[in-house]
Structure formats: C-alpha cells, structure tokens
C-alpha cells in the first residue's frame, strides 16, 4: 500500500469519525436542552471509582485518576461537564484536584465518547438526588412549622 493510499484511508476514516462525533454532539446538546427545560438547577457529579472513565492507575501513589461526568453551572451556564478526579485504591477517599470542570461539548473527542456511557447513570442519580432534596426540604419545613407553633404557645 502506497503512502497516498494510506492517506486516502485516513481521510475516509477521519470523515466517518467526524460525522459520527458531530451526531453525538447533537445528542449531548439535546440532553442539555432537556435538562434545561426540566429546570433541575442542581450541581451533581457521579461519584466513586465505578463511574470514572479515562482511568489511569498510579501504583506508586496507590490512586486511580480519571474523569467524572456531572451536571453543573459553569461559565457557559448549566451543562453536562467533566472534571478530573483522583481516588485512593480503596475508593473511599477523594483527593482534591485543582483543575476546573470543563463543559462536555468543549472536552476532547475521546472524553465525550467515553462520557456517553455515563449519561444514563447521571440522569438517574440526578433524579434520586432531587427527590432526596425534596424530602429534606419538606422535613425542614415541618420542623420550622412545629418550632413556630411551639414558640406561639
């Protein structure tokens, strides 16, 4: 195979890859639009080693580094986002990272593709988080109402 043939093969593959990721970007935008219409307005990050992707293990530091998918308010507004995370090998302690989250649509192609596997778990976890906050707000409201009644007597 000549060098020209190799370039032709690469050009064809790149064209298909660009078409596929352009379509995926539209999917990300559709998910973000839906979340915006819902108006959840909560920051939430998938937590724990089972949810991170683009993993790198550092045996010397006994840590696992990777990316986590979340929904957050960034400079761009509310969006799907990724951030760098580091967990100890036992998965119980999150070490701080200094990198700021990045909008998923601005992340690299491989990061966007790998994050796709986490979209459904993120939506499910975000719904559960919102439900738990509703329960907490209702309990706080009842406690305040009880305290006001007690003070009035």
CA separation for the pair 9, 120 (Å, rounded) = 34
- Indicate the number of domains in the chain: 1
Residue 64 sits in which domain range?
3-152
Stretches in the chain below the pLDDT threshold 50: none
- The reported pLDDT for the residue numbered 57 is 60
Nearest residue to 69 (alpha-carbon basis) of 35, 37, 38: 35
> What are the CA-CA distances from residue 30 to residues 27, 77, 114, 122 (Å)?
5, 15, 18, 15
pLDDT digits (tens, 9 = 90+) for 117-149: 899 999 999 999 999 999 888 888 888 878 787
What is the percent of the chain with per-residue pLDDT over 70, rounded to a whole number? 86
Torsions phi, psi for 60 (to 5 deg): -65, -40
Quote the pLDDT of residue 58. 58
Q: Is the pTM of this model over 0.85?
A: no
């Amino acid at each position: 195979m000549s060098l020209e043939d190799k370039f032709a093969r690469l050009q064809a593959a790149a064209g298909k890859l660009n078409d596929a990721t352009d379509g995926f970007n539209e999917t990300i935008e559709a998910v973000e639009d839906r979340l915006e219409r819902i108006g959840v307005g909560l920051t939430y990050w998938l937590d724990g080693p089972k949810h991170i992707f683009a993993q790198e293990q550092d045996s010397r530091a006994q840590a696992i580094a990777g990316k986590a998918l979340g929904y957050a308010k960034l400079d761009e507004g509310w969006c799907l986002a990724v951030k760098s995370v580091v967990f100890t090998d036992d998965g119980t302690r999150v070490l701080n990272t200094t990198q700021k989250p990045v909008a998923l649509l601005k992340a690299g192609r491989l990061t966007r593709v790998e994050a796709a596997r986490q979209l459904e778990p993120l939506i499910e976890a975000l719904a559960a988080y919102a439900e738990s906050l509703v329960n907490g707000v209702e309990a706080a409201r009842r406690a305040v109402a009880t305290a006001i009644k007690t003070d009035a007597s």
